[in-house]
Amino acid sequence: MTDILVVDDDLAIREMVAMALEKRGYRVVRAQGLVPAQAALQERRPDLVVSDIYMPGGTGLDLLKSIQALDDPPPLILMTAKGTIETAASAMKDGVFDYLAKPFDLDVLLERVQAALAERPPAPFRGEADPASLIVGSHPAIVAVYKAVGKVAPMKVPVLVFGETGTGKELVARALHRFGARADGPFIPVHCGAIPDTLIESELFGHRRGAFTDAHRDRKGVLAQANGGTVFLDEIGEISPVFQVKLLRFLEDGIIQPLGAEKGEPVEVRVVAATHRTLRAMVEAGTFREDLFYRLAGYEIRIPPLRERISDLPALVAHFQERFRRELGLADPGPPSQAVLDLLAGHPWPGNVRELGHVVRRVLIEAGSLEDPAPLQRILGAPPVGEAAQPLAPTIGSALAFPEPFLPLDELERIYLLTVLAHTGGNKTEAARILGIERKTLARKLKRTDSSEPDDSESDEP
């Protein structure tokens, strides 16, 4: 019989996972923390370990060290409600079979358990200090980004990062650099959209003195400066067709030829590119070279917009509060009030995480804390909490005029629900009154149209 060790300090989750595994015919040993889990490993070697990351006595990564010290180490599946890109990258790099975000579907867990039992044991653990987190959030959509970074960072392939403005594309690029083979080398970001076409070649490849007017001395380009490290080409969709050809040539042979130079020189640099545009559509339209697209997209990572992971708002707000408290020299502002969190959850966040940080900083400057919703209401333009809101009329010419090209009905419903919720300042009761439905029906619709919005009637755990 197959033995599985389940480790979690939360009794409900531990029992739920254990019972699901036992129903499939597995024999399960339970442990509520690191020390009992280590004792269980010594008493009887399991065929698989399923463990929480944060638990009494240590972490899942500490448990991984104990597992890898065994002669025949079993695979490990980690699960957490507080994921970070650092733990995911370390876990995926150092031998964890998979990394699941809570809440998860039990069918998904059972599928991963079956796959893990069919795989060879992971490679030996190579421990390292846990650095401060680059990216904040534990929603499954952002945990998928963590896992992608952990998988591809050690590989020598270019990566293309997609995401709306303000989602944190450069943070993902920095994480790829930090956990890559060239972490000791330089990381140099370049905003391609901010450099004129006439200068971008010189910026990236460099030039020799006299190559053009005002070229009074030799200048090393960004690619040469990043030799042995990573160059981040932000907004790659903005480069001209002429420069696309020259960038493609460099990606193919790794040779840079500064303007005015007689011969090229090789450089070893990882290229991470990012864009908010849909490059595949640009390829079809003939404005972006298909061969360059495939050269850049050795691996693709999509960063979800903030509206798709609203459940991460409290963690993001706490992160920005602490960051700006230190920067502004403020006293401890204390936790945000529920009224403030409700207002934030109802905002559509077109500027994503960057906009959220800007809003938190403004409120802290004005009020010193996030307790009173009034300053936030002024900044977001939301009506005061409890104030009667007028029904929104979806008429032509209004914000809800039918978009072209037309959208699927589910997408239109999602946009309408979020617009009404924003109109009420996040007040779900008032939004439900405007929509003519019960509050629980609204919560259910929000959960269906946006998986980041939890149903009021359901637990936040698997």
- The pLDDT score that the predictor gives to residue 384 is 55
Q: Is the peptide bond before 103 cis (omega within 30 degrees of 0)?
A: yes
pLDDT score for 169: 94
pLDDT digits (tens, 9 = 90+) for 230-263: 999 999 999 999 899 999 999 999 998 888 777 8
Q: Which two tokens stand for residue 291?
A: 């061969």
pTM of the model: 0.59
Give pLDDT, residue 430: 77
Q: What is the pLDDT of residue 234?
A: 94
Structural domains in the chain, sorted by start:
3-136 (3.40.50.2300), 153-302 (3.40.50.300), 307-449 (1.10.8.60)
Q: Where are the alpha helices (DSSP H) in 55-127?
A: 60-68, 85-93, 106-118
Helix (H, G, I), strand (E, B) or coil at 415: helix
Q: Is the dihedral of CA 157, 158, 162, 167 positive or negative?
A: positive
Residue 425: predicted pLDDT: 66
Residues of the chain with pLDDT under 50: 120-132, 388-404, 450-462
Render pLDDT for 111-154 as a digit per residue (tens, 0 to 9).
889 888 876 443 333 333 334 456 888 898 998 999 999 999 99
Q: Residue 223: what are its φ and ψ, rounded to 5°? A: -65, -40
Please name the residues in contact with 187: beta carbons below 8 A apart, sequence gap of 6 or more. Answer: 173, 174, 177, 226, 229, 230, 232
Per-residue confidence (pLDDT) for residue 153, from 0 to 100? 93
pLDDT digits (tens, 9 = 90+) for 81-103: 776 777 677 677 667 888 888 87
CA distances from 149 to 82, 136, 166, 169 (A): 17, 14, 19, 12
Q: pLDDT at position 229, please?
A: 94
User: Looking at residue 250, what is its pLDDT?
Assistant: 92
Looking at residue 396, its pLDDT comes to: 33
Q: What is the pLDDT of residue 134?
A: 67
